[in-house]
Amino acid sequence: MGGGQLSTSRLDELTTWDAAWNGLRVVVTGIGLSGFSAADTLIELGARVVVVDAKDTEENRAKADTLRIVGAADVLLGQAHAGALPLVDGEPAELVVTSPGFSPTHPLMAAAADAGIPVWGDVELAWRVRVREGRKTAEWLTITGTNGKTTTVTMTESMLRAAGLRAIAAGNVGTPILDAIRDPQGYDVIAVELSSFQLHWSSSLSPLASVCLNVAEDHVDWHGSYEGYLADKAKIYANTKVACIYNADQSETERMVEDADVVEGCRAVGFTTGMPAVSMVGMVENLLVDRAFIEQRKDSAAELASLADLGEHAPRHTVANALAAAALVRAYGVEPIAVRDGLRNYEPGDHRIQPVARLNDVLWVNDSKATNPHAAAASLASFGSVVWIAGGLSKGVSYDDLIRSHASRLRSVILIGADSADLRSALARHAPEVRVIDAVPPHTGGKHASVPTVSGDEVMALAVAAAAAQAQPGDTVLMAPAAASMDQFASYAHRGGAFIEAVRGYVEGQAPTPKEP
């Protein structure tokens, strides 16, 4: 019998914090937020843990020292360790717990598959240890979608807290899910944001309510195909107990619910920014209303909030996110007044359609969280004449629909990103009259052009200067890259912060007055 089969037999019994974790041989891949949290948790449980990360940085070395102090069997940093699974105490691992960024084709994941070693994500581990003797066990409300996850999960948290519940937003946002699980006081409810990567490595979750907000082409490179991406997103609904919330304006999410294997008695509840049918939440004039979680839903609706509670000029996608959050908390039993108060108390996070400055009747907006075309489309639709700063890691998606739909809004486009060839070619096909400017002009003079190496902060300063030269009164300079950030920045937050600093420098006159290139 192989090691993988033995592991599976033992792992099936590991469904609470107090189960027999002691001595379990585990390899944790990645030492970022989720990987560190997973390793720390497993060490506390008594497992024997080896951590592997390809990046041998000062920050990672400091984390490695901490994990060794608390009892890690070993921490292996550097590219030399990224190709093969290490032994744990001289024997093969019984389990791999992976960080979300490790795709199934990564050499470590492929090695685990070849050896028959089960792979969990940090969310799967969190679900299995959430029940602990002497501690409160929180219900989970789970949220995924191509866009709007963070807005929805934090709105959900705000509504839950307005109802007087001890609640937190965790998962793919802010607090790692295992840190929330280990909180000494415990929580009544955890609003859990889940990426498609986290869902891929999860199998036993059974949330009280779940939602897929929307789907559009994204992360095709990681999942291998759009169909693979959709299949992992659909896992959000598996084993849901009370309500599967779907986007009534997007049939793909409804089909996911129809195909889901759920707990008997679970309901399908739609959300729409239009008039809701029975068993939906939606809009009636300027009111957010509930026709799903009331007894008289066939011929009446309960008022949840008004558009005014969302702030002035809330865009359609924000209204949709609020309705999805409302459906989740209503499934838990939260009263309508807490939905309203939660929205009134809600403070939008940074980097999502975030106004930064206005100068000479030009509005500067940071939407660094627009990491794919679908998110950038929502951003572009919010403004009229736009100088667009865009580009980065495309993740294998197409830009044709985005440019075709919004070409008329574009005054000019400033390209960032180490390689924005896909975006450039889509602009040439569908917006040939729009001026396209490289933030970092390529070196020429040889047979092949090359882009000089500059830091992300320098790239953004150049992009802001170029945008300022193009913008006219009434325009919006919108940094909504429609791409991931990791080619030039540490994260989307770093990219957004660099934009904010560059705009501040320009507005305060600390940057040289830009000239027409």
Q: Note whether 322 and 364 are same-domain residues.
A: no
Domain boundary among 63, 98, 124: 124
Question: Which pLDDT score is estimated for 327?
Answer: 98
Do 367 and 478 form a contact (C-beta atoms < 8 A)?
Answer: yes
The dihedral sign for the CA sequence 214, 220, 224, 227: positive
Q: Note whether 375 and 497 are same-domain residues.
A: yes
Q: Note whether 118 and 153 are same-domain residues.
A: no
Query: CA–CA separation, 219 vs 377, rounded Å?
Result: 17
Q: Note whether 338 and 367 are same-domain residues.
A: no
What the block records as the tokens of 48 is 């024997």
pTM for this structure? 0.74
What the block records as the tokens of 36 is 């560190």
**The domain that contains 107 carries what CATH number?**
3.40.50.720
Closest CA to 147 of 10, 29, 320, 2: 320
What the block records as the tokens of 165 is 């519940």
With respect to residue 503, please indicate whether it lies within any of the assigned structural domains.
Answer: yes
Would you call 253 exposed, middle or buried from its count of C-beta atoms within 10 A (0-12, 13-18, 19+)? buried
Q: Note whether 293 and 186 are same-domain residues.
A: yes
Q: How far from 343 is each of 151, 162, 189, 307, CA to CA, in Å? A: 11, 9, 18, 10
With respect to residue 130, please indicate whether it lies within any of the assigned structural domains.
Answer: no
Do 129 and 26 form a contact (C-beta atoms < 8 A)?
Answer: no
Query: CA–CA separation, 14 vs 32, rounded Å?
Result: 24
User: Coil, strand, or helix at residue 280?
Assistant: strand
Phi, psi of 510, rounded to the nearest 5 degrees: -85, -20
With respect to residue 448, please indicate whether it lies within any of the assigned structural domains.
Answer: yes
Query: CA–CA separation, 85 vs 231, rounded Å?
Result: 27
- Binding residues, as ranges, are 145-151
Contacts made by residues 1-8, CB under 8 angstroms, sequence distance 24+? 2/115, 2/116, 3/92, 3/94, 3/115, 3/116, 3/117, 4/115, 4/116, 4/117, 4/118, 5/116, 6/94, 7/94, 7/95, 7/116, 7/117, 7/118, 8/118
What the block records as the tokens of 415 is 């390209």
pLDDT tens digits in sequence order for the chain, 517 residues long:
334 444 567 899 999 999 999 999 999 999 988 999 999 999 999 999 999 999 999 999 999 999 999 999 999 999 999 888 999 999 999 999 998 878 888 999 999 999 999 999 999 999 999 999 999 999 999 999 988 888 899 999 999 999 999 999 998 777 889 999 999 999 999 999 999 889 999 999 999 999 999 988 666 776 778 888 899 999 999 999 999 999 999 999 999 999 999 999 999 999 999 999 999 999 999 999 999 999 888 888 999 999 999 976 677 888 999 999 999 999 999 999 999 999 999 987 665 778 888 888 899 999 998 888 888 888 898 888 999 999 988 877 889 999 999 999 999 999 998 888 899 999 999 999 999 999 987 653 333 444 456 788 899 999 999 999 999 998 999 999 999 888 888 888 889 889 998 998 888 874 444 444 4
Closest CA to 39 of 222, 179, 173: 179
**The domain that contains 430 carries what CATH number?**
3.90.190.20
Q: Note whether 251 and 151 are same-domain residues.
A: yes
Do 156 and 141 form a contact (C-beta atoms < 8 A)?
Answer: yes
With respect to residue 28, please indicate whether it lies within any of the assigned structural domains.
Answer: yes
Question: Which pLDDT score is estimated for 450?
Answer: 47
DSSP character string of 208-270: SEEEE----S--HHHHSSHHHHHHHHHGGGTT-SSEEEEETT-HHHHHHHHH----TT-EEEE
**Crossing angle, helix 149-162 and helix 336-345, to 10 degrees?**
120
With respect to residue 214, please indicate whether it lies within any of the assigned structural domains.
Answer: yes
Q: Note whether 374 and 493 are same-domain residues.
A: yes
With respect to residue 456, please indicate whether it lies within any of the assigned structural domains.
Answer: yes
Do 268 and 280 form a contact (C-beta atoms < 8 A)?
Answer: no
3-state SS track over 79-141:
HHHCCCCCCECCECCCEEEECCCCCCCCHHHHHHHHHCCCEEEHHHHHHHHCCCCCCCCCEEE
With respect to residue 514, please indicate whether it lies within any of the assigned structural domains.
Answer: no
The total number of structural domains that make up the chain? 3
Q: Note whether 175 and 204 are same-domain residues.
A: yes
With respect to residue 515, please indicate whether it lies within any of the assigned structural domains.
Answer: no
At 407, the amino acid letter reads A
- Binding residues for ATP, as ranges, are 145-151
Question: Which pLDDT score is estimated for 71?
Answer: 96
Q: Note whether 359 and 489 are same-domain residues.
A: yes
Do 198 and 372 form a contact (C-beta atoms < 8 A)?
Answer: no
Q: Note whether 399 and 476 are same-domain residues.
A: yes
Domain boundary among 105, 124, 143: 124
Closest CA to 81 of 52, 48, 39, 111: 52
Q: Note whether 382 and 324 are same-domain residues.
A: no
Mark 133-151 as b/e (b = at least 16 C-beta within 10 Å): eebeebbbbbbbbbbbbbb
Do 467 and 396 form a contact (C-beta atoms < 8 A)?
Answer: no
**The domain that contains 190 carries what CATH number?**
3.40.1190.10
Q: Note whether 112 and 152 are same-domain residues.
A: no
Which one-letter DSSP state was computed for residue 344? H
Domain boundary among 69, 98, 124: 124
Whole domain around residue 396: which residue ranges? 354-507
Closest CA to 123 of 144, 146, 151: 144
